[in-house]
Structure 1
């Protein structure tokens, strides 16, 4: 399973969640048992999980936006609690998954079958990191060969977005990060240009405009800060779109100049979990990986046994880290 910054945000309390809770959501595993109503998944299959199950029948699902499924809350509900503490009280699970455990219980709609030709340490990335980053470019922003793209933040989701922009054929891909070492990594994944961001957003804007004087047609924010989301909007050329991916603390607000929004026909949008289409996206990602167009192996920069999970969270702050993956057991998945 992969360690995601969302897990870290909940762990530190910067995002709200009911306690007690089992965290963990970016995970691949083997199906041990299925319920009598399950028709799509079989025992023994390897699956990857998502926090955005979709019903496939509501207005948002049938219009191609399953991450905004109108029935997602009811789909996660259970008549009986999924987890209980020793005293019998209910324990929450992040996103209806709770993968930091030897086994987890999910609805059929929360998993997709993934082939055995995908190594387990990279298969788990499809559940969040790749779905969010690549999905945001392909489904959320709908980037094409004529577009120029700036990606703010070169962690796991940002690197996935850079790869998504490359897959989409973007003609220029500018990676932006405060850590120069991360920019070197970004070039390996498809960035054509790099900019070391400054604490002063104006300086960062000047650097980007020196590369593309009119600005970029798409800016992808993968940090989760108001300042970087506002920077994403400021980088846009007229008619451009800023797509915000990073989760921000409750109560965060954005301020953007109204004249740039209106006179420039610029757009500001979110793309929760990359606006992915999970069940079909997993097959797409798998094909791109197997045909060497999507580099998942190099994104796994550290593998640790589950017992060293705290070390894994600490490693997330290292400049060389893209994704830390935990192995629950020695069992071959």
Structure 2
């Protein structure tokens, strides 16, 4: 067994900066590929693990919204894939369980088995295993993936924009198209105008929604939201539901929560019209509970749902993302609001707090 030395950004303690360290990456096993990292988006999920909001075993290498180039394969029959540019998906699927064949690959019943391997992917200098977020660990020079989780991407989308497809675009776009099936008859509200929210706004515009209300605390984000297709903007605050109803009498047909708070999830439900659907996308603290108005639920036939990772099927979805990008409808370049070298990854995380930030991207 051989291992390759890789430079990784390691989380040693919650709330502390990531530290660049040399770790050792296993060779790919049959059914796996090794990927040379090209670019990674800094997602709020990564931030939640880094600051301790969400638990993860330490030490750990975060990073899951990532694009790279296949540099080695574990099966000679896959040698033709070496050099292929790929998006990593955090929701690998077996392709044959009941959920996969029903079109719900993000809820694959065998996802844990697809990720399972006989030895650690990444170890430190003493041979101790290092945890990987989503079994990816994209904040490193190279990483390992199940071959089925390495989704090809054509040459038309640059690396810094392409990495967004693996998480924020897959989630926001997928929630609109797959999770809530937004169409031209729908009025839509999106709470939170970061990467996931902006992707949802663009997807609603592409789907032909008749009204798109963007909601956020920061005026800077709301101004950007208009450029992505929001027809109306509201700054978060008192009487938010009333103000939504002033724009769309009776409420919106579809709402999307991209913040990660029980309070905003409840608001997404309360602003619905009868028969409306609220889709909650923001990750919340373990044990969080969402309080719902029972009258609105029972008498108005309103629904609240999740759409984990946008209920995406990336091998199917990426060609459509590429087509919308080429047509100018999916504006990935405007979603990248700052770019950083790998050595500047902690500065990139700090930039996520800027009021007008959508996505900070680290480039190798």
Q: Shorter-chain TM-score: what band?
A: over 0.9
Show the counterpart of 2:333.
297
Cα deviation 1:229-261 (Å, max 9, x = unaligned)? 000000100000000000001111000011211
Determine if contact 1:40/1:108 at 8 Å carries over to the other structure.
Answer: no
Q: Give structure 1 regions of 4+ aligned residues with deviation exceeding 3 angstroms.
A: 37-41
Conserved? CA contact 2:192–2:259, under 8 Å: yes
Q: Distance in 1 between matches of 2:275 and 2:129?
A: 49
Q: Separation in 1 of the partners of 2:308 and 2:188?
A: 19
Per the alignment, residue 307 of structure 1 pairs with 343
In the alignment, which of 218, 222, 227 is matched to residue 183 of structure 1?
222
What residue is the counterpart of 1:331 in the other structure?
A: none
Please report how far the alpha carbon of residue 38 of structure 1 lies from its aligned counterpart in structure 2 after TM superposition.
5.8
* Unaligned 5+ runs, structure 1: 329-333
Query: What is the CA deviation profile of residues 157-211 of structure 1, one whole-angstrom value per residue up to 9, with x for unaligned ones?
Result: 100000010111100000001111111000000000011111x4xx111111110
Change (3 A) 1:40 1:285: farther
Q: Residue deviations 1:98-137, cap 9 Å, x none?
A: 0000000110121110011211111101000100010100
In 2, Cα distance between equivalents of 1:130 and 1:229:
20
Which one of the candidate residues 90, 98, 110 is aligned to 1:51?
90
Q: Assess, with a 3 A threshold, how the Cα gap between structure 1 residues 320 and 54 changes in structure 2: closer, same or farther.
A: same
How many residues end up aligned between the 2 structures?
325
**Which structure has greater strand proportion?**
2
**1:173 matched to which residue of 2?**
212
Q: Report the TM-score when normalising by structure 2.
A: 0.88
Please report the RMSD computed on the Cα atoms of aligned residues, expressed in angstroms.
1.1
Pair 1:34-2:73 in alignment? yes
Alignment correspondent of 1:237: 273
1:260 and 2:296 correspond? yes
Gap runs ≥5 in structure 2: 1-39
**1:22 equivalent among 61, 64, 67:** 61
Contact 1:38/1:108 (8 A) holds in 2: no
Q: CA deviation at 1:39?
A: 4.1
Q: Distance in 2 between matches of 1:303 and 1:101?
A: 16
How far apart are the structure 2 equivalents of 1:265 and 1:117? Answer: 44
Question: Which residue of 152, 170, 180 maps to 1:141?
Answer: 180
Conserved 8 A contact 1:23-1:94 = yes
Q: 2:77, 2:199 → 1: CA distance?
A: 32
- 1:12 aligned to 2:51? yes
Shift of 1:50: 1.0
Matched, 1:194 2:233: yes
TM-score by length of 1: 0.96
1:257-314 deviation per Cα after TM superposition (whole angstroms, max 9, x unaligned)? 1121111110100011111111111111011101111100111111110111111111
